Structure formats: C-alpha cells, structure tokens
A and B are shown apart, each in its own frame.
Chain A
Amino acid sequence: MGDQAQLLPGTLDLLILRAVSLGPLHGYGILLRIGQISGNALLIEQGALYPGLFRLVRQGLLKANWGTSENNRRAKFYELTAAGRRRLREETDNWNRLATAIGTALAVQPEEI
C-alpha cells in the first residue's frame, strides 16, 4: 500500500462525480471505477465514500435509485444530474488550473528566477 497517495481534501467529491459521469453505478462500483481510472494509485477507505455520496445527493448533483446489481443484489445506483454535470466541468477546469500552477511552481529551477 506504500505506493498509494493520500487524497487531498475535497478531491473525493470530484472523483465520485467523474466516476459516475461514465455511467450509473452503485457505491461499490464507484469505488472500483475510481480504482480503475486512477490506476489504483489512490488510497480511499471504503466507508469514506458514503458521506460524500449523501452530501452530493443533498446538493442535487447526484440522483439515486434502487436497482439490482450484476451480482443479483439490491443496490442503490447513482447518476449525474444536470447540475452535477455542470459542477464536474467547473471542478475539472479548476483542478487543471491548480495542477498546472502547482506543477509549474514546483518545476522551477533556481537559474530560471
């Protein structure tokens, strides 16, 4: 587990939105999808997913419906709302700007100043 990175605060919501944007998923599925799309590089405790999910539902960014999973079990499936889609776009832009800025700042060599 030593090669997994801790999540920055606030980034879990972004990851959830991104995972769900690829198609409706239940909670466990979201976790697997995040692992898949991040190359299993992020450390997320499984239960920590749920407060985030409920918060996003309350903010109207996600909507949830009960259904049956591929394992033939009852599960709650999440999908993006229009507001969620908009938020994902904004947050992605924000993140890219931030990442570029931080990356640029960290890459500066003494002679470039």
Chain B
Amino acid sequence: MKVKNSFYIFKKDWQEIYKNKEILLPIIILPILFSIIFPILLIGSALLIPPEEYNNGEGLADLIPFFQGQENEVLKIIIYYNINFLMKPLFLFTPMILTMVIASDSFAGEKERKTIESLLILPITDKELILGKVLTAFIPAIIATWAAFGAFQALIFFMTYDIFGFNLIGLDWYLLLFLFTPLLSFFSVILMIINSSRAKDAKSAQNVAVIIILPVISLFFLQMANIFVLDVINILILSGFLGLLDLLMIYLGGKQLNRDRLISRIR
C-alpha cells in the first residue's frame, strides 16, 4: 500500500474544500463557537448573576458537593457545572459535525460533480483511495477540535483560575479529547463515507447523521441530569466500546467500499 497516493487524494480534496464555502464555513465557525463563544457565555452569565440571587443554585450543591462550604461556593458550582457538565458533551459535536460535513461529500460529492469515474480510473488500490477519503475528513476534524480545545483550555484557565485556584480542565477532558474524540470521529467518518458511497449527493448522504448525533445528544442530557457523567472511568468504558465499534466499521467499510459497488451505482 502506497500511503503517498492517499495523501495526494487528501491534498486534492482540501484544495477543493478550500473553494467550497458550504464545507469550509462550518470548519471555521464550529470550533470558534465551542471553544470561545459558549465558554464566554456560560462563565460570563454565571459571573454576571448578583450573589444575592444565588439561592436557586442550592440544588446544584448536591450535584457537586466538592465546593460545599467554600468561598463563592455557588458561583464555583455553577461555573464548574457549566464547564464540566454542559461543555464536555457539547465539545463532542465539533468533530462529529465536521466529519459528517466533510465525509458525506467524499464519494457523493464526486458523483454529484461527475468526477467519480476519473478518480476511480487512477492506478491506485481501493484501500489507498478509501484511506485518502478517511484522511480528508478525519485529520481536519481532529485538528480543528484539538485547536478549539487548546483555545478553550487557555480561555478557561484565564477566566477561572483566580476563582478556583486550580485548572478546571482535568484528566477526564484529556481522555475525552485525545482518546474518545478520535475514536468517535473515526466511527463517524467511516459511517458517513459508506453512506456517501451509496448516496446520489452529499445532502442525501447526511441522512444517517442521526445515528451518531442522537447518542451524543442523549449523552448531553444524561450528563446534564447527572445520570451518566463523563468521568475518567465512563470515558474509558465508552472508548473501549467505541474501539470495538470502530473495528466493526473497518470490517464493514472493507466490504462495502470498493470500485465495483461505487461504479455500479452510477448511471
């Protein structure tokens, strides 16, 4: 297998994406939204609430007992809750949406723009071709997410260190970003590429997005209600489960993605 062939496809796809606003805009906007806008809104709103109105935050004390009795107890609980309960699952939307937008265009976009045959005629193996398409969606989604996380981490540190005296971003965040997120992105990429290979155009290829989005939305509400928390143990368990799903996707991808199937669907 010549990996350089996959990189040629990756490079070409990115030259194309650079000119495609429908794909480029979410890649730029989403990380900014999740790394800067949301944290500022969540922390800023907590800071703007006058202390005398904190009474309503009492219910949260049971949720995060760690801060009980401390100075600025309710403020700390609200900020901690917003960052570690609300933001954590929200952060998963960035790689997921980006992989969906990019990967749904992978083969369906080539069909839509009638370039699929000239791509498939190249003297490369099916594996090199598919790896190229996986890289096109996976690498930028991960880089954008990690870059957003870097900005998010710096912003949180800058806005909350004086209040807490320690970094709010702990091991759970690192596991979520550097273990769980790549596994989730990979699953999302392969699923979207398989669907893209069957769909007529990129928009109809996005119809399976619900398979990935629904569990993440559920995760968001479960975490909000403190029913299932994304702590170190749970992230490791979920990562193990996703790892197995990824292996299944590699198997399914190997069966589903080949020239014969791709070309048979072109009329």
Partners in one complex: no
Report B's interface with A, CB cutoff 8 A: none
